[in-house]
Amino acid sequence: MARYRDAVCRLCRREGAKLFLKGDRCYRSSCAIEKRGTNPPGQHGAARRKMLAGYGEQLREKQKVKRIYFILEKQFRNYFEKARRQKGVTGENLLFMLERRLDNVVYRSGFSTSRRQARQLVNHGHITVNGRKVDIPSFQVKQGDVVAVKGRTVKNVHVDGAWATSTGRGRPQWLSAEGKEMAVTVSGLPRREDIDSNINEQLIVELYSK
């Protein structure tokens, strides 16, 4: 299976914004954006930054969203085609499907500090949906589903640490914590206001509609 194996901090600097790909490090002064600024990576990064318009602006927005959710081009394009066939606004449909991915729900619930870490938890079988193990990161949760950390994994130092600091990172209103247990209920569906306001999904629609 294809996957990105290079340094992820380069992706944040290329997009000129924090994509929160390194977990807790993104909240500290050691973050690459904090240390090196928003210039693109590479020796001549500052010289290569220029104002974008038209296609360039659309492409960068698509790349940014792909990298936020850490998926590759073919899968992202498939999500767009599904969003276009659904009723409603295509750009919002796309974001809603990305938000309902199981790896994103694990991250947004507070079981991990990054989507990459969340994907690893799912792949290794540490996450259950309605009491059944699900190891497919792209699994789409639906309203009423209960997502929980499986068995002894709740005592894992990384999972426990992420859960303890989850309040500071914020949890969307459509995910409700189940008391003191490491479990959340999908109490609703994502709304546009629950998703990063710096994303301009209309640019992605324009790019793929050419």
Question: Does residue 25 carry a pLDDT above 90?
Answer: no
Question: Does residue 35 carry a pLDDT above 60?
Answer: no
Element at 185 (helix H, strand E): strand 183-186
Question: Does residue 36 carry a pLDDT above 80?
Answer: no
For the ranges 1-5, 19-23, 154-158, 186-190, the lowest mean pLDDT is seen at: 1-5
Which CA distances in Å does 185 have to 95, 103, 168, 172? 20, 15, 19, 11
Which pair of structure tokens corresponds to residue 163?
């859960």
Please report the domains of the chain, with CATH numbers, ordered by start residue.
Answer: 1-50 (1.10.1050.10), 101-189 (3.10.290.10)
- pLDDT tens track for 55-114: 888 998 998 899 889 899 999 999 999 999 999 999 999 999 999 999 999 999 999 988
Question: Does residue 44 carry a pLDDT above 60?
Answer: no
C-alpha–C-alpha distance, residues 15 and 96, integer Å: 22
pTM: 0.81
Taking residues 41-48, what's their average pLDDT? 52
What share of the chain in percent tops pLDDT 90?
51
- pLDDT tens track for 147-167: 999 988 988 998 988 898 887
In this structure, the dihedral spanned by the alpha carbons of residues 27, 8, 94 and 209, taken in order and rounded to 10 degrees, is 130
Q: How confident is the model at residue 42 (pLDDT cuts 50, 70, 90)?
A: low
Task: Identify the pLDDT of residue 48.
Answer: 55
Strand partners, 128: 133, 148
